[in-house]
Structure 1
């Protein structure tokens, strides 16, 4: 087959970029021809003899919204000239104004905009709040037409699939394909707390994610900490502009909370802690949660992101992600029960094997083959 994928990134820098990289590698390993259209691409992919990388230079105009808009214009211009060369064209959400065969839904802006935890509905004239409202509103308006024009929509979780269907998209063309996890990199094993500057003794929880905005919900974890003197917390995320170091000091827990910054060594960090705490208020399908399961960590996750998904049995569910008292009780339950930790760890490891990258990419290839045959 001759396949084209349009996305901003094909690489390890973020979750969507990693999915694109894994799918692209699988396409090439299967002997197909691949053209990638984007801002940035791994050299391993771009140098492959069956691959072409069409670089769209990122615009220098201000705001991410305008840069995304320019990318969509330029990718559409390229696709209009080259569409007949391909059997299947895939796009990652709204990245082009042209219709494509497959759209991957990694995030449904319409659902986040309506979510009770959406933080920017407050009446204010602050430019940042106005911009965030406009950014989300615009993406919510355009994504329905993007999904409607595609022959197939890949939803990265069952809930995401339901959210796409709620936009009026035919359920028959929605395919749930979970993001995968690298079970060779993420696994149980010996950690190294000193490598991250962590005291060696004691129990550690881990939080990984964006800590500059409230969506990932570090706040509830910190507010649970005063009730948990036996627990320290490691936090992997960029603290620049984050309100949470100040909150940790205000709560009197700064001596037990370690802001590690962003790290490329998340796998080693996960082997160095005792549990993963992730009460996120909204997610499509968090890759980091899959990595925690593959590392054999007991996981506490908000019910909103885990209920109804294949990995639900591997998690303790927090019904209300804003309930710090309930979270403290669940963490205490894990701390006091080595048997429960081991039970959850075993379920997590087994589940991760069913959600590795080989499973994910095979499903993408099967979809491409079905679409190529039907065209």
Structure 2
């Protein structure tokens, strides 16, 4: 097949970009050719003889709103000019003013806006007003894009429900979970000293954007304050402008919370801790949660995190309310006080992750491409036959 993938970036160190990177790798391994319509792509992909890179330069207009719209217009124009060159056009959410065969829904602004934890208010100042308008515009654009795709691929059942709330028929959806590198993220020897972590305590790990209240580190810190003193927390994420070191000090946790800043070797950090805590207030399908499962860590998360749906009672603890610090404390204490229970959860988590590898994910996308392509050829055959008869 001749496949066109439209996205902003295709590279390994980006969430959505990594998903598309692995789809490209799977497509190339299967013998297909791939064109990338993007602003940036990993150099190792561009060296492949069956990869074509059509670069859409980022706009210099002020603000994400205008920049994304400019990118979408340029992508739409390119697709319309080259549509006949491809068997499959795969886009990601609203990224182009053009129809598509497959639209992967990684994040739905309508779901974020109505989830109950949306932090912005129209009348709370210019920044808030801009964010609200940006979200509302994206809601309209995403609805337009989903209605003009043959198949929508939500990355979780949670996202599928959010797409359906836009009035999109569920019969046009096929959920495909994101993947994880089960070889890279695997249990192994701890390296706590490398990350400045003490050797003895039961060590939790929180990883995410430390500037966003959506990730919910504040509830984790309040829960930790009520947990026994032998429970510590490693926090991985960029510290610049983060309010959480000050909050940790105010809660008397300065000696028990270890801020590592950005960590480039996340597999090694995950091998060095005892459990992963991720009570995000809103999440579509987090890669870091899947990585923790693959690393064999018992996971504490919440239902508002899309990845929670791949966790059962045997592979993790899923709480109902992301802001319930008392319930989170109880879950932490249960893991820290029962090594056998924590070990069983971790082993089950590793087995669950084996069904969510990048290879499995890519194969599911390619199978979907084949189905869509086969339907198009079948529908085109009667038209070609009629044209042949008319010519005779």
Q: Which 10-residue stretch deviates more, 161-170 or 270-279?
A: 161-170
1:306/1:312 contact within 8 Å kept: no
2:286/2:306 contact within 8 Å kept: no
1:279/1:300 contact within 8 Å kept: yes
Using the TM superposition, give the Cα deviation of residue 256 of structure 1 relative to its aligned residue in structure 2, in angstroms: 1.3
- The answer to whether 1:359 aligns with 2:360 is yes
Alignment match, 1:217: 216
- Please give the residue correspondences for 1:27-176 in structure 2 after superposition, counting only pairs within 5 Å: 27-121=27-121, 123-125=123-125, 127-176=126-175
Using the TM superposition, give the Cα deviation of residue 306 of structure 1 relative to its aligned residue in structure 2, in angstroms: 5.7
Higher-Rg member (1/2): 2
Q: Distance in 2 between matches of 1:311 and 1:212?
A: 27
Alignment match, 1:329: 330
Alignment match, 2:245: 245
Q: Distance in 2 between matches of 1:9 and 1:263?
A: 21
1:159/1:308 contact within 8 Å kept: no
Using the TM superposition, give the Cα deviation of residue 90 of structure 1 relative to its aligned residue in structure 2, in angstroms: 0.5
Alignment match, 1:298: 298
Q: Which 10-residue stretch deviates more, 148-157 or 65-74?
A: 65-74
Using the TM superposition, give the Cα deviation of residue 62 of structure 1 relative to its aligned residue in structure 2, in angstroms: 2.0
3-state SS of 1:182 partner: coil
- Segments of 5+ residues of structure 2 without an aligned counterpart are 377-392
Alignment match, 2:388: none
Q: Distance in 2 between matches of 1:279 and 1:308?
A: 10
Using the TM superposition, give the Cα deviation of residue 309 of structure 1 relative to its aligned residue in structure 2, in angstroms: 2.2
2:219/2:323 contact within 8 Å kept: yes
Alignment match, 1:185: 184
3-state SS of 1:260 partner: strand
3-state SS of 1:103 partner: strand
Alignment match, 2:317: 316
- Segments of 5+ residues of structure 1 without an aligned counterpart are none
Q: Distance in 2 between matches of 1:328 and 1:82?
A: 56
1:191/1:268 contact within 8 Å kept: yes
3-state SS of 2:174 partner: strand
**CA 164–194 in structure 1, closer or farther in 2 if over 3 Å, else same:** same
Q: Distance in 2 between matches of 1:222 and 1:190?
A: 27
Using the TM superposition, give the Cα deviation of residue 122 of structure 1 relative to its aligned residue in structure 2, in angstroms: 6.7
Deviations 1:204-247 (Å, cap 9, x if unpaired)?
A: 10001111011111110011121122111111111112111111
Using the TM superposition, give the Cα deviation of residue 20 of structure 1 relative to its aligned residue in structure 2, in angstroms: 0.6
2:122/2:132 contact within 8 Å kept: no
- The answer to whether 1:288 aligns with 2:294 is no
Q: Distance in 1 between matches of 2:123 and 2:326?
A: 30
Q: Distance in 1 between matches of 2:221 and 2:104?
A: 34
3-state SS of 1:179 partner: coil
- The answer to whether 1:347 aligns with 2:379 is no
Alignment match, 2:195: 196
Q: What is the CA RMSD across the aligned residues, in angstroms? A: 1.3
Q: Which 10-residue stretch deviates more, 36-45 or 57-66?
A: 57-66
Calculate the TM-score normalised by the size of structure 1: 0.97
Q: Distance in 1 between matches of 2:116 and 2:145?
A: 25
Q: Distance in 2 between matches of 1:311 and 1:94?
A: 29
Calculate the TM-score normalised by the size of structure 2: 0.93
How many aligned residue pairs are there?
374
Using the TM superposition, give the Cα deviation of residue 65 of structure 1 relative to its aligned residue in structure 2, in angstroms: 1.9
